[in-house]
Structure 1
Amino acid sequence: MNDATTRFPLDDPSGANALPGTISVAERASASRMIANALRDAIVDGTLAPGAPLRQDAIARHFSVSAIPVREALRQLESEGWAKVEINKGATVAPLSADEAREIYEIRAALESLAIGLAIPAHTRASLQQAEALCKAATAESDPSLYVARNEAFHMSLYAPAARPQLFELIGVLHRRGERYLRLKFGLPSYKGESDREHTALLKAVRRHDIAAAQLLVTEHLLDTGDLLHRFLCENAEAVSAASAPSKTRKPRAKRERATSGS
């Protein structure tokens, strides 16, 4: 995130931070979705930093579209928590929030505990084999972008046999909203390893068809992640605040004048 920019990357004359190129005519039917995906990727990888402006005119010029699909894309990103849109101020990349990170994982803990309890009785040998393969893939992954996708795929494979599409949709929204926060764990490699071990223990509980143990494990796994991210973001905010605070300089002490006595 140190390489992130607070300027819109299309303004970079070098093109080093540019977003993907213009979309084709065939793709313009889904222009708003394509634009939202490109902006989301730029936010996730740090090209667009928290607070960076998302100017409609620059985005429209870059993708060779009108303002309408751009506005739709920004509304979508706002609904997902990626962007902040203010009247008369325009859109900016949403800031990282310690409280939001913790809340996302608190809600996930409740929903995913429900999902895994519903799913365990319906798991089959094939579904468990798929979950095991996805668990191993997430554990071995070192690329942040791929890990986020594989982590979500593993979790969802544990819940899939429940066949609850509305529940899955809610969980999917929370996974997307938490994506920026989950990537922070790659700055804390020891915690990534701990998370992998928790995944393995969770999979074993599902294999045993131990609903109570699986629900407890997934709840603790998600709540602990939320607490970790909350602490990390709070500490980071405090460090930034301390670094930006004006340093206090001590005033030199006034020299005491020696009293002279007459002789």
Structure 2
Amino acid sequence: MTRSAVLLLCAACVCGLALVASAAEDRGALPLAVERVPRVLIELFVMSRCPDARRAEDRFNEVLKQVHSIVDLRTLYIAGEGPDGSVACKHGPAECAGNVQQLCAALHGRHGIARGEDPFQRGWSFLQCQNNKFSDVGSEELAEECLEAAGFSGVRAAAARACWSGPEGGALLRYSAAEARRRGAAKSCTVYVDGQYRCTHDSAQWYDCPGGSEVSDFVNTLCASYRRLTGRWPEDVCGPEPGAAA
């Protein structure tokens, strides 16, 4: 087995252990609500200091305002791999730090959520906070500010800090970057919905977007995906189903 393969395997193991350990820690200090409601998965392959990623995230923030209750959202991070298995970020070490901070906030923000709360919300709020001071993404000071702004406190905040300061964060980034390469996502932002390629935003343009790239187009895609996933049109979120009999 090559060194890079060994590192990737170790990263995957650490990621899995992190999920188990963090959940176990939170059981002792935070209320847990296990949600059983199906959600359509949105995946954004991005770079934390990429202007195109920020523009795409702004658009999806508008999408989420309409359909947040029927979707889950995850960000994955595009980065290169050095010959020694290290991660190389296009916009430098600060971007690697920002990627790790956002991954850690996304992971630990999911623990101890209240019933009915969107599982991605704290991590997404952390990311949006960082985007508001885009030139500082990756700095420890901004990360601390955004933890507070996104509602992290106590055990959850401590877990996020420990994640980006220790080996867990590096493992998450290696795993995320490897997944982006496996999926062929090289442009920031590349959008997947329900495991299928949906759209790309690069050089300030949306392209290769079957179904369109406006907020309403993404909403329509997500509503239709929810229908396929559950067999039910979410009329309370999406309005009357197109083509349905009155």
Give the structure with the larger strand fraction: 2
Q: Same-fold call, TM > 0.5?
A: no
Q: TM-score, normalised by structure 1?
A: 0.28
User: What is the TM-score normalised by the length of structure 2?
Assistant: 0.29
